[in-house]
Amino acid sequence: MHIKINDIVEVINGDDKGQRAKVLRVDHEAAKVVVEGVNQVFKHVRRSQKNPQGGRLKKEMPMPWAKVMLVCQKCNKASRTGARFGDDGSKERFCKKCGAGLGVIAPAHSSHAKK
């Protein structure tokens, strides 16, 4: 999964299709992401000391990571991502449309460095 916390993603499927927002949480085991302001549901809350008013709270629910695409900062388009090794041997994400680097995934390793 090439999506991290604080990435800007675009929803490509569902009721919120076309929305761009920031990723709040990533659950690698369930392959789900929580995106800010997307896939909201109402949670009905009973009155308590913590919530004296009670009522309905809006809450973002996890959605499958396959329903979002990473937005490249350089070309400002939702695109697929790939992984490549840099000259120093570090592994980085890159945009498949424009080829721009999107950040380091793994630190440098001497066996992958170009000689």
Amino acid at 72: C
Say if residue 97 is in the same domain as residue 111.
Answer: yes
Say if residue 5 is in the same domain as residue 23.
Answer: yes
Say if residue 52 is in the same domain as residue 5.
Answer: yes
pLDDT tens digit sequence for 75-90:
999 999 999 998 888 8
End-to-end CA separation in angstroms for the chain: 29
102 — pLDDT class (breaks 50, 70, 90): confident
Say if residue 82 is in the same domain as residue 108.
Answer: yes
Q: Which domain holds residue 18?
A: 1-71
Identify the burial level of 93 via C-beta atoms within 10 angstroms of its C-beta, where 0-12 means exposed, 13-18 middle and 19 or more buried.
buried
Instruction: Report strand pairing: 91-95 vs 81-85.
Output: antiparallel
Say if residue 57 is in the same domain as residue 1.
Answer: yes
